[in-house]
Amino acid sequence: MLRSRLSVCLLINDGALVKSTMFKNYKYVGDPLNAVRIFNELNVDEIIVLDIGATKNNKEPDFDLISNISSQCRMPLCYGGGIKDINTIMKLISLGIEKVAIGSSSFISPNLIREASDIIGSQSVVAVLDVARTGFTKRLTCKYLNGKKDSRKDPLEAAQLFTSLGAGEILLQSIDNDGTLNGYDKSIIEIVKKQLNYPVTVLGGASSYENIKEISETYGPLGVSAGSIFVFEGIHRAVLINYPSKKEKILMTNSFNSKIK
C-alpha cells in the first residue's frame, strides 16, 4: 500500500516563526529553531521552510538562520524565499538544504528552474504555485510576490510549464484557504493531479487529521503539508507544536484509492 508524505510547513518573517491567514494577518508563533527541535522528536516526514520576509522585502535568504536550522534538522528540509539566482541555490545546497522551493522567480525568471535542475537535479527543484480565485468569475490564477502579482497563468498551465523546464515537484498552495482551517481546496488539487504526472504537495487550509486522511485517500499518494494544525491548538489558536503519532500518521497517509485516476 502506497503512503503519502506528511510535511510541516514553517513560515519565517524577520527571523521569527509566524503563521498567516490568506497570506496576511501574520501571527507570531515562536523561535523557528525551537520548533525544528521539537519536530525532530516527533519524527516528521519533511519540513518546508518558507521565508516570506525575504520575498516581501526583496532580500536574499538569511543564510545564518538557514545554516542553524539545517544543523538542527534531522529530517529532509526544503527551503524557499529570496531565491533569485543559481548562486543562491548552490549556497543553500551547501548548507544542507535537500530541496529548493522556487516561487516568484519561477514566474519572473522561469529559466532558473531549468538551470537549477541541470545542476542539482530535478528531484531537488520544487516550483511553488500560490493559487487564488479572482474576479467576478472566480477564475483560478497563480500569484507571486506573496500573492501581490497576478501571473495570468492558471495552475495547470503553470505546473505544466515548470515541470517541462525541469521542476521535479509542484508545491500547490491555496491562498484563499491559507490558515483558515476550512479544509484543502479540492478543486485545485483535482485539476492539477488529474493532468500532471509529477509529484505534487498540497498546502493551505488543512482543518484536521481527518481532513489530511481524506485528501490522501482521494488524491494520493502525494505530499500533504500543513502549518496551522501543527502549531496551534483550540479555537483561540494557542501555540502548541504537535504532529501525529506514528500509528496516526500511517492511518492518515495510506492511499487506499485515488478517485481521480
Whether residue 258 lies inside any domain: the answer is no
Beta strands in the chain (DSSP E): 5-13, 16-21, 24-30, 46-51, 77-80, 99-102, 125-134, 139-144, 149-150, 169-174, 200-203, 223-226, 232-233, 238-239
SS3 annotation, 42-73:
CCCCEEEEEEHHHHHCCCCCCHHHHHHHHHHC
Write down the pLDDT at residue 239: 87
- Whether 85 is catalytic is no
Whether residue 261 lies inside any domain: the answer is no
Domain count, the chain: 1
Residues paired with residue 186 on neighbouring β-strands, in sequence order: none
Whether residue 260 lies inside any domain: the answer is no
Decide: residue 7, CB within 10 A, 0-12 exposed, 13-18 middle, 19+ buried: buried
Could you tell me the three cell numbers for 257?
Answer: 484509492
> Domain of 145: which CATH number?
3.20.20.70
Reading the chain (261 residues) residue by residue, the pLDDT tens digits are 678 999 999 999 999 999 999 999 999 999 999 999 999 999 999 999 999 999 888 899 999 999 999 999 999 999 999 999 999 999 999 999 999 999 999 999 999 999 999 999 999 999 999 999 998 889 999 999 999 999 999 999 999 999 999 999 999 999 999 999 999 999 999 999 989 999 999 999 999 999 999 999 999 899 999 999 999 887 768 888 999 999 999 999 987 555 554
Q: Is 61 left (phi over 0), alpha (psi -120 to 50) or beta?
A: beta
- Which listed residue (51, 130, 154, 185) is catalytic? 130
Whether residue 47 lies inside any domain: the answer is yes
Write down the pLDDT at residue 1: 60
Q: Which domain holds residue 130?
A: 5-253
Write down the pLDDT at residue 261: 47
Whether residue 212 lies inside any domain: the answer is yes
